[in-house]
Amino acid sequence: MSGFFAIFVFVFCNMLLLTDYSSSLPLCTNMRSPITPKTPLNFCRYNGSVCCDSAEDLRLQNLSKAMNVSDLGCASLVKSILCSRCDQFSAELYRFESAPRQVPLLCNSTQHQPGGVDFCSKVWDECQNVALLNSPFSLQVGGGTPSNSTSKLSDTWQSKTAFCSAFGGSSNDESFCFDGGPVSLNSTEIPSPPSGMCLEKIGNGSYLNMVAHPDGSNRVFLSNQAGKVWLATVPEEGSGETLVIDEANPFLDITDQVYSDTELGMMGLAFHPNYVQNGRFFASFNCDKVKWPQCSGRCSCNSDVGCDPSKLEPDNGGQPCQYHSIIAEFTANATTPQPSSFASVKPLEVRRIFTMGLPFTTHHAGQILFGPKDGYLYFMMGDGGSIGDPYNFAQNKKSLLGKIMRLDIDNIPSAEEIADLGLWGNYSVPGDNPFTEDEELQPEIWALGFRNPWRCSFDLERPSYFLCADVGQDQYEEVDLVTKGGNYGWRVYEGPFRYNPPKSPGGNTSASSINPIFPVMGYTHSEVNKAEESASITGGYFYRSTTDPCMYGRYIYADLYASGIWTGLETPEGSGNFTTAKIAVGCALDSPIQCGAEAGSSVAALGFIFSFGQDNRKDIFMLASSGLYRVAKPSRCNYTCSIENVTSSSPPKSVPSPPPSASSTGRLNNPLTLELLIIFCTLLLPFRFSLVIL
């Protein structure tokens, strides 16, 4: 029996340790099995079973800080590489069964996998000329570098080919490679959408904008359409507590300047990237020059764009350019030298950044955002209104209507320079705006061809991903992946469909004269339309919180009328190909504020979904007419997420237990048994090639 047992141990351990990990067990770099941490990792956002505990997570965070990577794009990639040590397959990524590596094997599709992920080239393109302090790439090649040494990739490797020859590899039947995210055993398959999205209601107010406090705390700024801004404290998810907000004492009140109506009001709110130091923040709103003399500015319908304001038909009783879109700057420094400590500020405008008269009373968008990578202010502007953009403003490169603008509000020219340049306010134009490549464009324009871009966002994980929802006319609601100089088709196209405008006093643009970029996501009106309602998209965010791990990496968006909520997943990552799914939405039965359609109901009664928000914990919120909602743990709505860490001793009675994992190779699945076998085989690892059967 002893001889048979020895043979069994030899065969089993070699099968366990030598076979490809893609069909066997995950292992960490210490050759032990992954763990499930008691609390989610704060820095390395890996979910489920991981190879890092909180101490290792903190060590990697400190290592990232010490590297002092100045370029945000490169910093994001370097962080993902450092955090790959937390992947449950890190032993294979770092090849720890042979010579240990300092950097995981980077996926390099150009050499090994045509059509696959080329993460190695992405790292080279972003980081080749960025100084890295104690670069892990240099450590791997040189076996170690002196303390505090700084190097660039281009200092050691003369080309991308040479770099990826050293660090690149492919995922095949024998190994894995790192593509910037957690290893997936079924990377060629589209993951199933979550069974549902759970919401908890934490506030009763109706808001249009939500901005996380720049100080990184659990506070947020909320504003309504009328022109009030509040500073509020957000409780922990699942705590049973509600939003702490003093409605009677707003942070800012400019209701006397804002003109509020169906599609008019305070539309945007943004805080300077250095707000904690300089106290600068900005509001985007509409005003009425009849009621407020300071409102008046240049009309967007003018001879420069082939438009005569005297010939515009009055829309809803208003006069052409009676209403304006404004970006105004305010300050907290006038209140206190420490902007983070204030509770309110004076409603005194520091300076007018932008003022433009509007031809009609609809389609003004108005959101403002600071680019996380460049620090410039992005301003979303609709086509100005009326059916079918009759004056073709969205395609007119001399008009700012139907555009996304990009402004530099840190370098403000003199009044004479503003007049000479024909600017609309106190800002300058970034030197790399698209007008440098297309002289026909107005210099402020970043992208064109929008009808009414309603809610845009940058992805926290990939700052180059800038997604905007654009409200359709008759057929299609779209989500666009916005890039520099991109033309998104309106009014030549409505989403992917050709559009034939009913009136064209402003002329037409031929389809052959543009190179439209079609939506990456969206839905037709027939999918949501009811007899008494229309469709209108509300853009959201990529979900990057750990609260619902099954939602991680999906873009969430909705219809204004709560006729549907969708998630979109890019597969493969970096391809621009998104697969969308309409998702069920539930109300947590233990929600701090009842949010069901009736007492005890699990169906959320949202009303209108005006907007989405994101706080410093990366949790996602819905700003609806019926209140403020947060995405909660799936189990609180009896939804199943196999990788959710349920902290209670037992799941809710009605939550179905996940089925035991089945191995296609028939291997044992008991976690304790596997752990003991792995430890036993690990002890034999140094002798696995020379084990003698006695």
Domain assignment of residue 664, yes or no: no
Domain assignment of residue 643, yes or no: no
Q: Which segment, 339-353, 604-618, 632-646, is predicted with the most confidence on average?
A: 604-618
- Give the other-Cβ count within 10 Å of 262's Cβ: 9
Quickly state the pLDDT bin for 641 (edges 50, 70, 90). Answer: confident
Residues 308 and 434 in one domain: yes
> Average pLDDT for residues 164-168, to the nearest whole number?
85
Q: Is a pLDDT exceeding 80 seen at residue 158?
A: yes
Domain assignment of residue 323, yes or no: yes
Residues 152 and 231 in one domain: no
Quickly state the pLDDT bin for 590 (edges 50, 70, 90). Answer: very high
pLDDT score, position 65: 86
Question: What's the CA gap between 428 and 1, in Å, rounded?
Answer: 84
The upper half-sphere exposure of residue 523, i.e. CA atoms within 13 Å in the direction of its Cβ, equals 24
pLDDT score, position 138: 79
Quickly state the pLDDT bin for 598 (edges 50, 70, 90). Answer: low
DSSP letter for each residue of 62-120: HHHHHH----HHHHHHHHHHHHGGGSTTHHHHTTTTSS--SSPPEE-TTTS-TTS--HH
Range in 65-74, 250-259, 353-362, 398-407 with the lowest mean pLDDT = 65-74
Domain assignment of residue 650, yes or no: no
More confident residue, 566 or 648: 566
CATH number (domain holding residue 442): 2.120.10.30
Domain assignment of residue 40, yes or no: yes
Residues 171 and 259 in one domain: no
More confident residue, 612 or 4: 612
Range in 66-75, 245-254, 353-362 with the lowest mean pLDDT = 66-75
pLDDT score, position 109: 64
Quickly state the pLDDT bin for 404 (edges 50, 70, 90). Answer: very high
Quickly state the pLDDT bin for 662 (edges 50, 70, 90). Answer: very low
Residues 115 and 201 in one domain: no
Residues 176 and 219 in one domain: no
CA distances from 478 to 3, 140, 459, 473, 574 (A): 68, 46, 18, 11, 19
Q: Is a pLDDT exceeding 80 seen at residue 663?
A: no
Q: Is a pLDDT exceeding 60 seen at residue 43?
A: yes
Question: What's the CA gap between 332 and 328, in Å, rounded?
Answer: 14
Whole-angstrom Cα Rg for the chain: 28
For the chain, percent of residues with pLDDT exceeding 90 = 56
Given 595, 620, 637, the domain boundary residue is 637
Pick from 206, 202, 231: nearest CA to 219: 231
CB-based burial label for 99 (10 Å; 0-12, 13-18, 19+): exposed
Mean pLDDT in the chain?
Answer: 83
Domain assignment of residue 201, yes or no: yes
DSSP H helices in 335-458: 415-421
pLDDT score, position 648: 35
Is 598 in a helix, a strand, or coil? Answer: coil
Q: Is a pLDDT exceeding 60 seen at residue 225?
A: yes
Task: Tell me the residue range of the domain where 59 lies.
Answer: 25-185
pLDDT score, position 514: 96
pLDDT score, position 182: 77
Q: Is a pLDDT exceeding 90 seen at residue 271?
A: yes
pLDDT score, position 164: 87
More confident residue, 532 or 666: 532
Quickly state the pLDDT bin for 418 (edges 50, 70, 90). Answer: very high
Pick from 107, 105, 132, 110: nearest CA to 120: 107
Residues 313 and 264 in one domain: yes
Domain assignment of residue 651, yes or no: no
The upper half-sphere exposure of residue 516, i.e. CA atoms within 13 Å in the direction of its Cβ, equals 24
Quickly state the pLDDT bin for 378 (edges 50, 70, 90). Answer: very high
Domain assignment of residue 648, yes or no: no
pLDDT score, position 691: 34
CB 190 within 8 A of CB 569: yes
Q: Is a pLDDT exceeding 60 seen at residue 694?
A: no
Quickly state the pLDDT bin for 415 (edges 50, 70, 90). Answer: very high
DSSP letter at 636 equals G
* pLDDT tens digits, 44-93: 877 778 899 888 988 998 888 888 888 877 888 888 899 999 988 888 88
Residues 580 and 602 in one domain: yes
Question: What's the CA gap between 549 and 552, in Å, rounded?
Answer: 5
Q: Is a pLDDT exceeding 60 seen at residue 98?
A: no
Domain count, the chain: 3
Residues 178 and 209 in one domain: no
For the chain, percent of residues with pLDDT exceeding 70 = 80
Residues 284 and 383 in one domain: yes
> Average pLDDT for residues 205-234, to the nearest whole number?
97
Q: Is a pLDDT exceeding 60 seen at residue 201?
A: yes
The residues, any chain, with a CB within 8 Å of residue 317's CB and separated by 6 or more, are none
More confident residue, 189 or 371: 371
Residues 214 and 178 in one domain: no
Question: What's the CA gap between 494 and 475, in Å, rounded?
Answer: 7
Residues 176 and 213 in one domain: no
Q: Is a pLDDT exceeding 50 seen at residue 23?
A: no
The residues, any chain, with a CB within 8 Å of residue 680's CB and separated by 6 or more, are 13
Q: Which segment, 81-95, 288-302, 565-579, is predicted with the most confidence on average?
A: 288-302
Q: Is a pLDDT exceeding 90 seen at residue 440?
A: yes
* pLDDT tens digits, 474-527: 999 999 999 999 999 999 999 999 999 999 999 999 999 999 999 999 999 988
Quickly state the pLDDT bin for 287 (edges 50, 70, 90). Answer: very high
> Average pLDDT for residues 454-461, to the nearest whole number?
97
pLDDT score, position 619: 98
Residues 276 and 357 in one domain: yes
- Give the other-Cβ count within 10 Å of 208's Cβ: 20
DSSP H helices in 336-463: 415-421
CB 644 within 8 A of CB 550: yes
DSSP letter at 613 equals E
Q: Is a pLDDT exceeding 60 seen at residue 97?
A: no
More confident residue, 677 or 401: 401
Question: What's the CA gap between 219 and 212, in Å, rounded?
Answer: 7
CB-based burial label for 142 (10 Å; 0-12, 13-18, 19+): middle
Quickly state the pLDDT bin for 664 (edges 50, 70, 90). Answer: very low
pLDDT score, position 3: 52
CB 263 within 8 A of CB 382: no
Given 131, 162, 185, the domain boundary residue is 185
